Each structure stands twice: as C-alpha cells, then as structure tokens.
Amino acid sequence: MTEPRLHHITCPDAHGGHRMAYWEWNATGLPHHPHVVVCVHGLSRQGRDFDTLARALSTHARVVSVDVAGRGQSDWLKDPAAYQVPTYAGDMLAVLAHLQPGTLDWVGTSMGGLIGMAVCGTPGLPLPVPVRKLVLNDVGPVLQLQALQRIGTYIGKTGQFATLQQAADALWAISQGFGPHTPAQWLALSTPMVKPRDGGVTLHYDPAIGEAFRHVTAESVAQGEAALWALYDHISADTLLLRGAQSDLLSPETARAMAQRGPKARLVEFAGVGHAPTLVADDQVQVVKDFLFP
C-alpha cells in the first residue's frame, strides 16, 4: 500500500460530538489484521507525519495514524478549552473501541506521547486490550518551561501563504529541532500541513489549540509533573523512549529517570536532532521497527 485510507468516526462531547479522522495503512493482506499500531502526532502536527514509518510497519500490522481533534481532517472543537489531553485520550478510546485490536502498540510523538501516557497509565480505562508496546518520542513527565515558551511563540499563528513552498519554508524556520531533512523529505512532511484559503494556503489546524500556551507558567508546569509521573509509573507496557540529543523539551535528567522507574523505558538518543525526531530517517525508523517487531 503506497497511500493510506482515510476514515472518520464520531467522538462524543458536550456539544453533540465531533468527527475524528484517522489514516489506515495495511499491507498485511488481511483487511482486519488483529495487530494495530496507533500513531499519534505532536501539538501542531497531523497524522500524515507518520507516512514513512507507517509504510515500514504496515507489512506487519494495521497502522492507524490519527488526526487529533482540531487538526488535519478532524473537526475543530466548539469549545476551545477542550483542547487538552483528557479530551484527546477520550477520543482515542472511541477510536480503539471502533478498531477492536487483538494486539495494540502505541507510537506517540510529543503530545501524542502524553496522550499515550494517559491511556496507558490511567487504571480502569475500557481499552479493548492493554497496550503491549509504547514508544514515547521525545516527551516525558517533566516538560521544560523554556521549550513550552518557545512553542508558545508560534502556536496558533496559522498564517497565509501564497504557495506550498512558502509555507514549507515558514514551517522549517520553526522546526530546526527536527534535525536534518532533504528538501524532498521536508516538502513531503509539509504538504499535509496546509489547506487552501483565499487563493493560497494556510496551516491546517484550529488556532485555538494554542490557547493553553498563553497561560504556561513555572507553577503550572510544576503542578502537572506529579500527575504525569503518576501516569508514567502506572504504565505496564514495554516502553521505548526516543530522545533528540539536543532536545529542549525532554531533558537528559528526565530521560534517565524514566529509564529507572515505572516501566523502565529503554532509552535511545539520536545525535544532531532536537525536539522532536520525525521518524523519517532510516535509523529512526529502524529503531522503532526493531522494538515493535524484533
């Protein structure tokens, strides 16, 4: 399969529900292969970020990459205050109930990793099956304030661009932490990041997803750490922690602590990369593939 199939399901909310999109890759030969790998993207991204990884994994399992609410092909939420991890985790429970996997793995980049921690670390959630293997891509219970403030300088500014290339160049200006990419790789990552508007293009997401970043303080970050560590310590899935060696969001100290407590994640760092590895480079894809399918 060279291109994924787009599906939608309706997720409940206080305003009559919203549609959530997901992309399905499946080259196994079984339309409803029981092994599902769910991939969940970062804050301002969308599910097509995982195209390269999904192609590599799709001969082993159904690979489902979601567009989290407010992004990509999913509906924007009527209540901007609902753009939070508990909402996203609830939506993922609806997706998983629909998919009904027999074996379930999770790959989460940044925000997608936090959602994974909530799903894997909250006791008593109605999962079809427990998550077998969890990949946390450059995220953990301690989020560095400086990185959150950096993200806050651009999140919500969806812009207006004359061409796709102009938008790709603007995205690259705020994405240096992703590490080296060829022009072709970056254009492939950028193409699903835009939608048409007024004769040009704009970024795909609801600007309201950035509202929470207007209020980030050292105190609010510190208050969230205990809750995130509690989630992490309850995770029973076999866990792989990926870190960009130059990441400003996931510190070396937090990564080392994650290797020593809770699920005792196996830590792999990628040189020359910050926040966050895009899982496009061959070595990054291979690390994930070897972990999920040794």
For residue 283, give the CATH number of its domain.
Answer: 3.40.50.1820
Report how far residue 211's alpha carbon sits from residue 201's, in angstroms, rounded to the nearest whole number. 22
Assigned domain for 168 exists: no
Exposed, middle or buried, 36 (CB in 10 Å: 0-12/13-18/19+)? Answer: buried
Mean pLDDT of the chain: 96
Assigned domain for 260 exists: yes
Assigned domain for 186 exists: no
Assigned domain for 200 exists: no
Domain of 252 in residue numbering reads as: 5-144+215-292
**Do 179 and 217 touch, CB atoms closer than 8 A?**
no
Whether residue 230 is predicted with pLDDT greater than 70 in this model: the reply is yes
Report the number of distinct structural domains present in the chain.
1
Whether residue 1 is predicted with pLDDT greater than 70 in this model: the reply is no
DSSP annotation string for the chain: --SPEEEEEEE--TTS-EEEEEEEE--SS-TT-SEEEEEE--TT--GGGGHHHHHHHTTTSEEEEEE-TTSTTSPPPS-GGG-SHHHHHHHHHHHHHHH--SEEEEEEETHHHHHHHHHHHSTT---SS-EEEEEEES--S---HHHHHHHHTTTT----BSSHHHHHHHHHHT-GGG----HHHHHHHHGGGEEEETTEEEESS-GGGGGGGGG--HHHHHHHHHHHHHHHHT--SEEEEEEETT-SSS-HHHHHHHHHSTT-PEEEEETT--S---S-SHHHHHHHHHHH--
What dihedral angle (degrees, nearest 10) is formed by the CA atoms of 187, 27, 58, 62? Answer: 120
Assigned domain for 78 exists: yes
pLDDT classification of 212: cutoffs 50, 70, 90: confident
Whether residue 62 is predicted with pLDDT greater than 80 in this model: the reply is yes
At 211 the pLDDT is 87
**Do 3 and 48 touch, CB atoms closer than 8 A?**
no
pLDDT classification of 214: cutoffs 50, 70, 90: confident
Whether residue 181 is predicted with pLDDT greater than 80 in this model: the reply is yes
Report how far residue 117's alpha carbon sits from residue 104's, in angstroms, rounded to the nearest whole number. 14
Q: What mean pLDDT is predicted for residues 25-31?
A: 95
Assigned domain for 204 exists: no
Assigned domain for 248 exists: yes
- pLDDT tens digit string along 91-121? 999 999 999 999 999 999 999 999 999 999 9
Assigned domain for 67 exists: yes
